[in-house]
């Protein structure tokens, strides 16, 4: 990426010590007064809040929970591959329980991020610290709480860092968590930078705060029982009328290896294969034989596959499916080829016990059909995720930056809010058709529940949005392939078991 200095900013943290009893001439420790002589020092200090974000895309965390629990992505068991203790089968089938490691990891990731923010806020309390830097930390903390609000619902709100061994948190009701997140965002977002350049890339700015608010308000009915669609429209307009962001003419400009230059990205998590690890999507989804196609240093894991019905939700001429000149679209499917253009052959001996390798290499044909969820899905069953450009000659860690919010989502959020207030609103239809126009497909004549949900799915596929969208559209409980009807209480996940023991006041969510 072109902004390596930003990654250095994210990971190179300067330790602060007030050292009032030390003589600077006799020590290498920098005093607080000397350290905070310029704005870069403040940026370096609050930069500690960002590296925690990289864990959200690590295997088994927030991203996979959002996707594998939805109708977009599945991890079928392919003999000895993909089982992983049965966790992904359980998440796919909404068989959630308080012992699932992915749920535990997500909870931990969020609270680690929150405690880091609390530590900084506790340190600057009472000091002459610039308000915009404090606001950046508070909005970052609000984002962590937004994830917890969305996934777990009823959670403890912890505002201190030095909580001590005797600290016993208490569960707050979901509506109270919503109010806390809203107030933190509204009272701090106005102080954030309105710059949109390489210096603010990857950081919380004013427009990031508005994007978080738009998502919060769009889903507020689920969180509180009340609708906040007017508020959602207002926050979207603050981004739209700023004219800081535009739809990229080519959809795939957002997902290149060096996607920091996209004018559509509002907020992204920077990754780098040297200093900022954690984005493993390529290795999580590709077939092992793709190692020769993309000259990868290790064979991929052959896990994430696209659900067949979701694959078929795209129109045949959709540029998002075709690739718009890139060579492949959001999914790899059909007959696969190596780097030289020859048919890709799988000569692995890693076949099932009752289907032993017979010495004859097999052509890799990624069929949209997945024959069964477990235990013997085919080795090349299911299309694979290729939305982010696949870089050649890399190891497990990708260099693409993961998009949290982009302008297209804001347009869709506003369109949906307008439509929910008035199903015949022409402005809502116009906004959705802007998205479809870029994709090269025919405009909608009208917006319906089904086609709006489907369009959000096509545009935002594999970006970690689908679980939340399905819940908001009352489609979460429906049955789909290898998943039966699920009870409404499963719209939120169970509190991990380890946090319910030891005399805490944290309560388990109803139904678990």
**Domains present along the chain, CATH in parentheses:** 4-274+403-479 (1.25.40.390)
Burial of residue 94, with CB atoms counted within 10 A of its CB: 0-12 exposed, 13-18 middle, 19 or more buried:
middle
Residue 148 tokens, joined = 């917890």
71 near 80, Cβ under 8 Å?
A: no
SS3 content of the chain, % helix, strand, coil (to 5): 45, 10, 50
Residue 98 tokens, joined = 């308080």
E runs forming strands in 175-315:
265-269, 305-306
186 CB-near residues (< 8 Å, 6+ apart): 213
pLDDT given at position 82? 85
Per-residue pLDDT for the chain (512 aa), expressed as one digit of tens each?
444 444 444 444 333 333 333 233 444 555 555 555 666 777 788 889 999 999 998 877 899 999 999 999 999 999 878 888 899 999 999 999 999 999 999 999 999 999 999 999 998 887 888 899 999 999 999 999 999 999 999 999 999 887 666 667 899 999 999 999 999 999 999 999 999 988 889 999 999 999 999 999 999 999 999 999 999 999 999 999 999 999 999 999 999 999 999 999 999 999 998 888 999 999 999 999 999 999 999 999 999 999 999 999 999 999 999 999 999 999 999 999 999 999 999 977 655 444 455 667 889 999 999 999 999 999 999 999 999 999 999 999 999 999 999 999 999 999 999 999 999 999 999 999 999 999 999 999 999 999 999 999 999 999 999 999 999 999 999 999 999 999 999 999 999 998 887 667 899 999 99
Question: Measured between alpha carbons, how far is 353 from 351 in angstroms, rounded to an integer?
Answer: 7
- Across the strands, what pairs with 367? 381
Burial of residue 80, with CB atoms counted within 10 A of its CB: 0-12 exposed, 13-18 middle, 19 or more buried:
exposed
Tell me how far the alpha carbon of residue 164 is from its chain's centroid: 32
How long a stretch of residues is the chain?
512
Structure-token match 């790899």, residue found: 332
Residue 377 tokens, joined = 């899905």
pLDDT given at position 199? 84
Burial of residue 246, with CB atoms counted within 10 A of its CB: 0-12 exposed, 13-18 middle, 19 or more buried:
exposed
Report the interhelical angle of 174-188 vs 206-218 (nearest 10°): 150
pLDDT given at position 360? 76
**pLDDT per position as a tens digit, 283-304:** 999 999 999 999 999 999 999 9
pLDDT given at position 43? 77
Tell me how far the alpha carbon of residue 245 is from its chain's centroid: 20
What Cα–Cα distance (Å) separates residue 469 from each residue in 154, 248, 323, 409, 416? 19, 23, 24, 12, 11
Question: Measured between alpha carbons, how far is 307 from 351 in angstroms, rounded to an integer?
Answer: 23
pLDDT given at position 201? 93
Greatest C-alpha distance within the chain: 75
Closest alpha carbon to 1 in 201, 162, 146, 228: 201
Question: Measured between alpha carbons, how far is 392 from 70 in angstroms, rounded to an integer?
Answer: 30
């Amino acid at each position: 990426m072109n902004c390596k200095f930003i990654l250095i900013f994210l990971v190179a943290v300067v330790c602060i010590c007030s050292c009032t009893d030390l003589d600077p001439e006799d020590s290498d420790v920098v005093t607080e007064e000397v350290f905070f002589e310029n704005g870069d020092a403040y940026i370096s200090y609050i930069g500690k809040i960002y590296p925690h974000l990289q864990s959200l895309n690590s295997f088994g965390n927030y991203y996979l929970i959002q996707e594998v629990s939805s109708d977009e992505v599945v991890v079928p068991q392919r003999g000895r591959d993909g089982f992983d203790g049965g966790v992904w089968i359980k998440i796919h089938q909404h068989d959630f329980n308080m012992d699932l490691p992915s749920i535990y990891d997500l909870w931990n990731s969020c609270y680690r991020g929150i405690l880091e923010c609390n530590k900084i806020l506790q340190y600057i309390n009472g000091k002459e610290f610039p308000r915009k830097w404090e606001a950046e930390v508070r909005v970052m903390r609000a984002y962590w709480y937004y994830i917890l609000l969305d996934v777990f619902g009823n959670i403890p709100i912890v505002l201190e860092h030095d909580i001590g061994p005797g600290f016993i948190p208490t569960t707050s009701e979901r509506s109270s968590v919503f109010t806390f997140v809203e107030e933190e965002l509204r009272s701090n977002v106005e102080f954030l930078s309105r710059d949109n350049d390489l210096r603010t890339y990857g950081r919380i700015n004013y427009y990031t705060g508005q994007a978080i608010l738009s998502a919060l308000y769009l889903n507020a009915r689920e969180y509180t029982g009340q609708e906040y669609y007017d508020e959602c429209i207002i926050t979207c307009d603050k981004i739209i009328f700023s004219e800081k962001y535009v739809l990229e003419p080519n959809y795939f400009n957002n997902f290149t290896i060096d996607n920091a230059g996209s004018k559509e990205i509002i907020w992204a998590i920077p990754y780098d294969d040297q200093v900022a690890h954690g984005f493993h999507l390529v290795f999580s989804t590709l077939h092992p034989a793709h190692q020769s196609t993309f000259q990868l240093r290790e064979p991929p894991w052959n896990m994430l596959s696209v659900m067949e019905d979701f694959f078929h939700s795209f129109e045949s001429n959709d540029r998002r499916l075709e690739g718009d000149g890139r060579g492949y679209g959001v999914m790899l499917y059909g007959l696969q080829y190596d780097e030289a253009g020859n048919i890709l052959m799988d000569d692995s001996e890693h076949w099932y016990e009752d289907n032993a390798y017979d010495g004859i290499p097999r052509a890799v044909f990624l069929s949209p059909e997945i024959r069964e969820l477990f235990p013997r899905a085919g080795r090349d069953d299911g299309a694979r995720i290729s939305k982010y450009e696949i870089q050649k000659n890399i190891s497990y860690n990708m260099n693409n930056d993961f998009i949290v919010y982009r302008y297209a989502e804001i347009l869709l959020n506003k369109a949906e809010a307008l439509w929910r207030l008035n199903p015949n609103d022409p402005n809502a239809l116009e906004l959705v058709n802007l998205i479809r126009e870029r994709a090269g497909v025919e405009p909608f004549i009208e917006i319906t529940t089904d086609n709006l949900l489907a369009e959000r799915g096509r545009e935002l596929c594999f970006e970690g949005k689908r679980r939340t969208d399905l819940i908001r559209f009352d489609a979460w409980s429906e049955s789909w392939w290898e998943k039966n009807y699920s009870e409404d209480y499963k719209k939120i996940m169970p509190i991990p078991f380890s946090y319910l023991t030891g005399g805490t006041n944290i309560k388990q969510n109803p139904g678990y």
